[in-house]
Amino acid sequence: MIKRYLVSFAGYFFIYASNIISIPLIINLSSESNYGEYVLLISYLGILVALSPLGLGFKSKREMPSSTSIDERSNIFYPQFYANILSVIILGYFFNAFFYFFSSSLFDEPIELDAPLLVIYGVLFVIYTQIGHIFKFYEKIVSYNLLGILNPLFFLILVIITYHFKKELNLEALIYAQIFSLCINILIFSYSAYRIVGFKLVFYKKLDFLWDIRVGFPLLLVVLIEIIISSSDRFIIGYYLESNKVSYYTVAYSIASLMLVVPKLFSISLEPRLMKLVDNESFTEASSLVSYSYNLFFLIAIPLMAGAFMYGELVLTLFLNADFAKESYVSLRILILGMLFYGQSIFMFCILSALIKTKKLLFLNSITAFVNLILNLLIFYVYQDILVAAITSLVSYLLLFLMTRFYVLGIFKFKIYTKEFFKVVLAVSITSICLLNLNFEFNENDILEFSINFFLFIFIYLISLVLFRSFIVKTIYNWIFK
């Protein structure tokens, strides 16, 4: 699994880096307000593409890892694919009409977009994600990661080309860049997907449709609820404050979400592998796999959290500018603590999915979303500040983690906090104390200051782990030099 995790890590790193690079690029080529409006529109479109499956597709994902022939994979893939395309077209026109109803409340100025633009984006994104599902659940990890890497990369290239010729970058140009990027990726990867599932005009049978709805609809709501948790605060900020405040919060959230790279990329390999192990009743091996994944997560997540607390403002200054950093760095510290809890929950979501406990997933996420939304609405009504959104996110993610952990440990035994966890915490503590006492500061050169502190942090941290005889570090070392 280490090889799969490393491939996924490399892929997700490039995806994350491309998305992070796009933030200062868009802001510098347009404005903070324009980027804030783009975030709101993409979040709105995210709800469209999340809602479009209507719960269909779980059967395809769940049975794909164990399927043995193209014909079998065609029969389970295409019914939900056609239903998804039809659904996103219908919902797309509804979302397009509703967009103009509420846009005046969220955006600083009236927004004008071509009528079918949201529908086209929705259809293309559905096809793109369906290709991703084929690669993921057929366990073609390299193809899956390439698909994810090239989309934001082409988007960046198209943004630069658009600005070069038009000398401006508005909201419509950004959406067109997204659309053309999706088109290029679909053209590149369609044949590889075809070789896995073939092509067939096959539609749902009544019993299969009802089973998919019954089991998959809770997962649909889970996805929507996750979007509510991660995006509702941005809509509330956009409603009460200016669009540039959305930018400040989004930047802090984007950098904090670096911690989620590990659990999300692990889930690419972990989820289908857990499904196979559960089908084979290999629960001991499944438990060991989950515990090992947690140890790898802590190995990266805890030093990231310490780094954000110590150098968050410096990173934001380098990333954008000192004024932007002043607006965002406190939110960054709060959000990254919340991401530590949310990252741990993601592994448990994989367990519940493998055990087909979709209704419980829905219940746990529903409570979290409700608490998050109510807290945001109540507190923002009295006090308008982006710190409110950061604090409510922290509270929500902590609540989700505690509830999910309590339930999952009741039906699936595994260890989260092993000796490895405490070795990592101790190593990070020693590293932080050393660097705070050394206190390297270069008032005239922020890049030099960050570079020296960054490399010293990694060096002292790794030396500490070696001295503590970290099992994870030893395992990775043996795998690399085997």
On the question of pLDDT at 1 being above 60, the answer is no
For 97-111, 246-260, 327-341, which range has the lowest pLDDT when averaged over its residues?
A: 97-111
Residue 402 Cα distances to 9, 281, 374, angstroms: 27, 27, 19
For 34-38, 75-79, 133-137, 469-473, which range has the lowest pLDDT when averaged over its residues?
A: 469-473
Residues 139, 65: contact at Cβ < 8 Å? Answer: yes
For 105-118, how does the pLDDT look when each residue is reduced to its tens digit (9 = 90+)?
Answer: 666 566 666 668 88
What's residue 84's pLDDT?
86
Residue 403, number of CB atoms within 10 A of its CB: 17
Q: How many CA atoms lie within 13 A of 193 on its CB side?
A: 24
What's residue 418's pLDDT?
78
- Burial of residue 409 (CB within 10 Å: 0-12, 13-18, 19+) is middle
- Alpha-helical (H) ranges within 64-140 are 70-106, 117-137
Mean pLDDT confidence for 301-323: 82
Task: Give the angle subtended at the CA of 22 by the CAs of 19 and 23, to the nearest 5°.
Answer: 100
Residue 92, number of CB atoms within 10 A of its CB: 23
For 118-132, 233-247, 372-386, which range has the lowest pLDDT when averaged over its residues?
A: 233-247
- Alpha-helical (H) ranges within 167-242 are 171-197, 206-240
On the question of pLDDT at 184 being above 90, the answer is yes
For 82-96, how does the pLDDT look when each residue is reduced to its tens digit (9 = 90+)?
Answer: 888 888 888 888 877
Q: b/e for 255-289, b at 16 or more Cβ within 10 A?
A: bbbbbbbbbbbbbbbbbbbbbebbeeeeeeebbeb
Residue 195, number of CB atoms within 10 A of its CB: 11
Residues 16, 276: contact at Cβ < 8 Å? Answer: no
| pLDDT band per the 50, 70, 90 thresholds, residue 11 | low
Q: How many CA atoms lie within 13 A of 311 on its CB side?
A: 24
| pLDDT band per the 50, 70, 90 thresholds, residue 444 | low
Most confident of 55-59, 74-78, 159-163: 159-163
Residues 206, 149: contact at Cβ < 8 Å? Answer: no
Residue 252 Cα distances to 246, 298, 451, 475, angstroms: 10, 21, 21, 34
Mean pLDDT confidence for 302-322: 82
For 106-115, 379-388, 419-428, which range has the lowest pLDDT when averaged over its residues?
A: 106-115
What's residue 182's pLDDT?
93
Nearest one of 6, 9, 18 to 254, comparing CA atoms = 18
Helix (H, G, I), strand (E, B) or coil at 35: helix
Residues 220, 6: contact at Cβ < 8 Å? Answer: no
Q: Residue for token digits 């942090």?
A: 457
On the question of pLDDT at 445 being above 90, the answer is no
In this structure, what token pair is assigned to residue 312? 């968050």
On the question of pLDDT at 394 being above 70, the answer is yes
Mean pLDDT confidence for 178-196: 91
- Of 82 and 67, the structure prediction assigns the larger pLDDT to 82
What's residue 216's pLDDT?
67
On the question of pLDDT at 167 being above 60, the answer is yes
Nearest one of 441, 460, 462 to 451, comparing CA atoms = 441
Most confident of 182-196, 207-221, 307-321: 182-196
| pLDDT band per the 50, 70, 90 thresholds, residue 68 | confident
What's residue 426's pLDDT?
92
On the question of pLDDT at 59 being above 80, the answer is no
What's residue 95's pLDDT?
79
Dist. CA 295–CA 1, nearest whole Å: 13
